[in-house]
Amino acid sequence: MGSIVEYHLCAIDGGGTGCRVAIARADGTVVSRASGGPANFATDAARTVDVVRETVLAALRELGGEAPDPQRLIAHAGLAGIMNAQDARALAAQLPYARCGVSDDRLTSAIGVLGLRDGAVLAIGTGAFVAIKRGGDVRFLGGWGLHVGDQASGARLGRELLEHTLLAWDGLAPESGLTRAILARFDGAPVGIVAFAGAARPADYARLAPLVVDAAKAGDAVGRILMDRGAAYLNGALDFARLSGADIICLTGGLGPYYEAFLAATHRERIGRPEGSALDGALQLARRILEETETRA
């Protein structure tokens, strides 16, 4: 391979809501950005390949005559729906860059959030997972989906709120302002809740999570039970991570920050601000590939 300066870095972040690309010089300075359509590899692999290639070309066009050739890009793509090494190889083989790392977007997200710091990311939105990072090594816990995992997630909070409301209806759990509000929302009887649950997808349950958060903040007993249950899972994951020294904890996703008040004091002390995005994480990984390329050259 040629000398270092001939290469540009290319960061790719893709998921169901769209694809984002940043082109940077070898020192990491971003010189161009572009965004494109949905790029979830599990939903539509062929379309994802097209979207990634086109979005990268769009970012290159922004550079006009100074644009490097795609074959002179060192890239990393972090995409939703990359389930295993086979998926990663299949995608990398169809991208025409000098080198291209591929991972799922949990990895790029965790690295973007923590930057060069070590510690843990609690990523909690509709779903949830925990990332534990030590140097270049990132380990993931959870993220197995609502049915058999995603403890502490918005979908789980919403589903457990409905379950608790029905237990309270039966007289088997305490009721509260929150369970009464939920019952009223479903016309005052379980049949509406049962019908909702029969058709609900994770995002439908997650739409109820802000009610749990708000009620817990206002001191509602059931709201606190449900947030405490989610926090017990997160505390367990953080205990398992055995953080020490300068390790930090970042709470991300729509619900992550709301768990801060429910974490154990020893964990709360480590909470720090997220540094960057999944696209920043992809850029960092592309740079690492460039460094490896230099070392070998």
Interacting residues toward its own copies by CB under 8 A: 83-84, 141-142, 144-145, 147-149, 159, 162-163, 166-167, 170-172, 190-191, 193-194, 197-198, 200, 233, 236-237, 240
CB 33 to its own copies: min, Å: 34
CA dihedral in degrees (27, 29, 31, 32; nearest 10)? 110
CB 172 to its own copies: min, Å: 5
Nearer to its own copies, 235 or 277 (CB): 235
The radius of gyration of the chain from alpha carbons, rounded to an integer in Å, stands at 22
Cα 49 from Cα 44, distance rounded (Å):
9
Nearer to its own copies, 97 or 233 (CB): 233
Q: What is the largest CA-CA distance in the chain?
A: 74
CB 148 to its own copies: min, Å: 4
Count CA within 13 A, CB hemisphere, residue 107. 24
Nearer to its own copies, 30 or 90 (CB): 90
The one-letter amino acid at 99: R
Q: Print burial letters for 209-225: b (CB count within 10 Å at least 16), e (below 16).
A: bebbbebbeeebebbbb
CB 268 to its own copies: min, Å: 20
CB 199 to its own copies: min, Å: 10
The one-letter amino acid at 239: D
Nearer to its own copies, 204 or 275 (CB): 204
- In sign, the C-alpha dihedral spanning 88, 20, 129, 166 is negative
Nearer to its own copies, 62 or 239 (CB): 239
CB 171 to its own copies: min, Å: 6
Nearer to its own copies, 167 or 221 (CB): 167
Angle 284-85-148 from CA coordinates, rounded to 5°: 100
CB 185 to its own copies: min, Å: 14
The one-letter amino acid at 130: V
Nearer to its own copies, 68 or 143 (CB): 143
Nearer to its own copies, 61 or 207 (CB): 207
Q: Which two tokens stand for residue 56?
A: 């990268």
CB 34 to its own copies: min, Å: 33
Q: Print burial letters for 89-121: b (CB count within 10 Å at least 16), e (below 16).
A: eebeeebebbbbbbbbbbbbbbbbbbbeebbbb
Q: What are phi and psi of 73, to 5 degrees?
A: -100, 140
Alpha carbon 87 to chain centroid, angstroms: 19
Q: DSSP states of 86-101 as a string?
A: HHHHHHHTT--SSEEE
